[in-house]
Structure 1
Amino acid sequence: MKKNMGNADRVIRTIIALIAAYLYFGGIVTGTWGIVLVVVAAVFLLTSLVSFCPLYAIVGLKTCATKE
């Protein structure tokens, strides 16, 4: 797995995951939408930790800096 996510992308995904977790565990979003939100937050957090997004790999997108 080669890294395909840049630092800005990783930070944005982490912030979104933290906001989603706050919304769910704060009781603001509940039920099915809450569970979907937690799953999306977990995926965002996991992909930002490993710096690899499978969807980016399928599409051929890279947000990380390349060395020349």
Structure 2
Amino acid sequence: MKKNMGFADRAIRLIIAAALVLLYTKGIISGTLGTLGLVFAGVFALTSLVRFCPLYTLLGIQTSKK
């Protein structure tokens, strides 16, 4: 698994994940939308931590430095 995410991309994903979790815990989003938000937050956090995004591979995108 080749790393394909740069620092800025990872930071943005972690900020979005934290925001989605915060919105859910404050009750601003709930129900199905809240659950989807938590799923996306989990995916964003996981891909940020491992520095690999499978979708980037499919689309030929690489934001990391070579």
Partner of 1:65, secondary structure, is coil
- Relative to the length of structure 1, the TM-score reads 0.95
CA RMSD of aligned residues (A): 0.4
Instruction: State the percentage of identical aligned residues.
Output: 56
- Once the two structures are superposed, the pairs formed by residues 1-68 of structure 1 within 5 Å of their partners are 1-66=1-66
Measured in 1, the distance between the counterparts of 2:34 and 2:15 equals 17
Q: 1:6-54, CA deviations, whole angstroms, 9 ceiling, x for partnerless residues? A: 0000000000000000000111100000000000000000000000000
How many matched pairs? 66
Higher radius of gyration, 1 or 2: 1
- Relative to the length of structure 2, the TM-score reads 0.98
Unmatched 5+ stretches in structure 2: none
Unmatched 5+ stretches in structure 1: none
| Over 6 Å off, 4+ runs | none
